[in-house]
Chains A and B, each alone.
Chain A
Amino acid sequence: MLKKVLTGVAMLGSLALVATGCGGSSDSGDGSSDSGGVIKVGFAQTGSESGWRSANTESMKEAFSKENGFDLVFNAADNDPAAQIAAVRSFINQGVDAIVIAPIVEDGWDDVLNEAKEADIPVILEDRTVSSSDDLYAAWVGDDFTKEGETAGQWAADTFGDTATKLVVLEGTTGSAPANDRATGFDSAIEGTKIEKIDSQTGEFTRDGGKKVMEGFLQKYGVDGIDLVFAHNDDMALGAIEAIEAAGGTPGEDIKIVSIDAVHDGMQALVDGKINFIVECNPLLGDQAAELVKSVLNDESVDKQTFAVDQSFTQDQAAKVLDSRPY
């Protein structure tokens, strides 16, 4: 029996690898580069796990378009780190001019980044970062999660700082960089205020998770026992809104909500008065990444770290920009 189970698990694992490996390597393989000043860029995206990611992919494809003088080889690895490394290797073999990576995980990049370095292909990291030493890549562009948390916390401190406030937190996926850094930033900003964090639990960055955890909090403390919700992303805030309404409360009034991301549905809820404050996590990194690629290829010196500009929105500000936002 045990043997059977083990074989089953092994089969499962290998099949999963094969399947995702196939799905990931859908490169368009028109080989030659260096033709007529067109810059051939390989972009290894994580996958297509969220609305944020879709907007990010769109932005990259737009910035690295033919009109802008690029020839983009795009790969989405379905969140399989091995498939992503294989994709980067194939970029190296195809002899692209530059490689852009949105790393799925932080670790395990040393070998392939060394190979890129030996082939003299500069690597730009986008969104997430890697644990390898920073001379293995040219630059990084992304969002400052700690700053996002700080901005959200600062709003909470300014709004509630002097009154006793009971706060619950809907955390992102345990151990992920955005969850860790946003918590750190938020906590440092509300330090010394009268805001008291009474509970905190992971909602896995999903609406369903946010709703279930919020339901639990509401059963535990009652609508009157919670004043403020800090959700690590909009999706969980949207789930929390459903839970608060089901419990007979009015989200945005009885219980105030602050969240991070500024995806369309979240902004809509902000305009509707159900969320009180949103800090943006800007997915439109394409233009900045394209600028970096051009500068690096022209041997101009670039900053190792470039932070995207993250705005923040109150309800009134959101109403003004909602229609003009591309995502």
Chain B
Amino acid sequence: MTRWMRHRLFLPVVSLVALILVNAIARPRFVQITVRDGELYGALIDILRNSAPLMLVALGMTVVIATRGIDLSVGAVMAVSGAVALTIIDGSSDPGNVGTVLVAIVVSVLVALVLGAWNGFLVAVLEIQPIIATLVLMLAGRGVALLITDGFITTVTSPPLKYVASGHLLGLPFALFISVAAIALIALMERRTALGVLTEAVGINPEASRLTGVRSRGIILGAYVVSGTFAGVAGVIYSSNIMAADANAAGELIELYAILAVVLGGTSLTGGKFSIAGTVIGVLIIQTLQSTILFLGVSSAESPVFFAFVVILVVLIQSPRVYQVARRMTGGRRHHPAPEVTTGVEVTS
């Protein structure tokens, strides 16, 4: 048992690599990356670009889950921010103006920030259960988005907005840079300051951390603000990708995929310890899996089952209990298998 195999990201990374390998074997085109007009192009690049909205939402979700919370409203917040941004651009006299688009993006992300603060207020100050507190916005938000767009899909022609999701910088998709910036920001905030430790403390035992002087209320509120803001940016990317504000479809079910990404990355839903790198891998697994469905040509009717099957497989591979049983069955270290493995997993998780 080498050390790197015990690393908590080992199994998620193995799952991701395995998925990519399956695709590459089925269709070698999958791993092919070509340069077209100075821009990188290929299925893997598409995965990195398309994962941006889920990446942002899942990062926000990681922080919220670390505080023992959950944010179900992210999809609705995406719909609202997209609706706000495109309504502003659509209503302006010059939709192609960079300034107009920047204003629209800033306003829509600020709206999302306020929505996140509202969630945080309900959870941290009024102490409503997170699942219920964020459910309010999950149900109401999409209605608000529909009101903003008048029930229609708002379509715009605006090259600067298109750049957000479809543009390239240094040959790579611009959306990828947004993802990386968000990852770096969260990593810096949580891992280079005491904030990460405090967040985990709040998640492990809110009462104890409050008694030791941690201002848990502010930390919880902050987590929902981050989640809301990131969902707002995700909404802008989503709208930019299709150049339209689709209040019904934007961010539909993304809350569940984000939770799935967090869990696949090894963060427990019970709060406390969290892994940013794990979430990143989790998002990439989900996105790759969606491409896999296309590349293997799984039919529409079968694809949800296929998706569920692979997810169960990945979760099973990562389950300590399954690991333990497998070890026992293969007969390795027959003498004291259970305690050895259990402590190993606990130390690394």
Residues of A within 8 A of B (CB): 1, 8, 11-12, 15-16, 19-20, 23, 48-51, 53-54, 171, 174-175, 199-202, 204, 206-209, 211-213, 215-217, 219-220, 222, 235, 238-239, 242, 246-248, 265
Please report the C-alpha to C-alpha distance between residue A202 and residue B152 in the assembled complex, in whole angstroms.
22
Q: Which residue of B lies closest to A171 (CB)?
A: B300
B166 contacts the other chain (CB 8 A) = yes
Please report the C-alpha to C-alpha distance between residue A248 and residue B42 in the assembled complex, in whole angstroms.
12
Complex A-B: 20 CB contacts under 8 Å: A12-B131, A15-B135, A15-B139, A16-B139, A54-B150, A200-B300, A201-B294, A201-B299, A201-B303, A202-B300, A207-B246, A211-B241, A212-B50, A219-B42, A219-B291, A220-B29, A235-B153, A239-B242, A242-B166, A265-B153
- Distance (whole angstroms) from the CB of B234 to the closest CB of chain A: 12
Please report the C-alpha to C-alpha distance between residue A3 and residue B305 in the assembled complex, in whole angstroms.
26
Candidates B131, B155, B242, B294; contact of A208 at CB < 8 Å: B242
B324 contacts the other chain (CB 8 A) = no
In residues 102-153 of chain B, which contact A (Cβ within 8 Å)?
131-132, 135, 139, 143, 146, 150-153
**Residues of A contacting B166 in the complex (Cβ-Cβ under 8 angstroms):** 242, 246
Decide if B50 touches A215 in the complex (CB within 8 Å). Answer: yes
- Distance (whole angstroms) from the CB of B253 to the closest CB of chain A: 10
- Distance (whole angstroms) from the CB of A3 to the closest CB of chain B: 14
Candidates A1, A54, A200; contact of B299 at CB < 8 Å: A200
- Distance (whole angstroms) from the CB of A226 to the closest CB of chain B: 13
Known contacts A209-B249, A216-B291; A54 and B152 CB within 8 A of each other = yes
B270 contacts the other chain (CB 8 A) = yes
If A216-B295, A246-B166, A248-B41 are given as contacts, then 10 extra A-B residue pairs at C-beta distance below 8 Å, sorted by A number, are A15-B139, A48-B146, A54-B150, A54-B152, A175-B301, A200-B299, A207-B242, A209-B249, A242-B242, A248-B36
- Of all A-B residue pairs in the complex, the 7 with the closest CB atoms, nearest first, are A216-B294, A202-B300, A206-B249, A219-B43, A207-B242, A48-B151, A174-B300
- Distance (whole angstroms) from the CB of A5 to the closest CB of chain B: 9
**Residues of A contacting B37 in the complex (Cβ-Cβ under 8 angstroms):** 248
- Distance (whole angstroms) from the CB of A149 to the closest CB of chain B: 16
Decide if A247 touches B41 in the complex (CB within 8 Å). Answer: yes
Residues of B within 8 A of A (CB): 27, 29-30, 36-37, 41-43, 46, 50, 131-132, 135, 139, 143, 146, 150-153, 155, 166, 238, 241-244, 246, 248-250, 270, 290-291, 293-295, 297, 299-301, 303
Q: Which residue of B lies closest to A217 (CB)?
A: B294
Please report the C-alpha to C-alpha distance between residue A217 and residue B132 in the assembled complex, in whole angstroms.
40
Please report the C-alpha to C-alpha distance between residue A16 and residue B246 in the assembled complex, in whole angstroms.
22
- Distance (whole angstroms) from the CB of A67 to the closest CB of chain B: 24
**Residues of A contacting B42 in the complex (Cβ-Cβ under 8 angstroms):** 219
Please report the C-alpha to C-alpha distance between residue A225 and residue B132 in the assembled complex, in whole angstroms.
49
- Distance (whole angstroms) from the CB of B239 to the closest CB of chain A: 9
Please report the C-alpha to C-alpha distance between residue A8 and residue B238 in the assembled complex, in whole angstroms.
29
Please report the C-alpha to C-alpha distance between residue A1 and residue B151 in the assembled complex, in whole angstroms.
40
Q: Which residue of A lies closest to B155 (CB)?
A: A265
Please report the C-alpha to C-alpha distance between residue A11 and residue B134 in the assembled complex, in whole angstroms.
13
**Residues of A contacting B248 in the complex (Cβ-Cβ under 8 angstroms):** 49-50, 206
- Distance (whole angstroms) from the CB of A281 to the closest CB of chain B: 16
Known contacts A54-B152, A211-B241; A204 and B50 CB within 8 A of each other = no
Decide if A199 touches B238 in the complex (CB within 8 Å). Answer: no
Decide if A213 touches B294 in the complex (CB within 8 Å). Answer: yes
Candidates B143, B290, B303; contact of A23 at CB < 8 Å: B143
**Residues of B contacting A211 in the complex (Cβ-Cβ under 8 angstroms):** 241-242
**Residues of B contacting A238 in the complex (Cβ-Cβ under 8 angstroms):** 242, 244
- Distance (whole angstroms) from the CB of B122 to the closest CB of chain A: 14
Decide if B151 touches A54 in the complex (CB within 8 Å). Answer: yes
**Residues of A contacting B299 in the complex (Cβ-Cβ under 8 angstroms):** 200-201
Decide if A207 touches B303 in the complex (CB within 8 Å). Answer: no
Please report the C-alpha to C-alpha distance between residue A207 and residue B46 in the assembled complex, in whole angstroms.
17
Please report the C-alpha to C-alpha distance between residue A18 and residue B30 in the assembled complex, in whole angstroms.
46
**Residues of B contacting A201 in the complex (Cβ-Cβ under 8 angstroms):** 293-294, 299-300, 303
**Residues of B contacting A50 in the complex (Cβ-Cβ under 8 angstroms):** 153, 248
Decide if A208 touches B238 in the complex (CB within 8 Å). Answer: yes
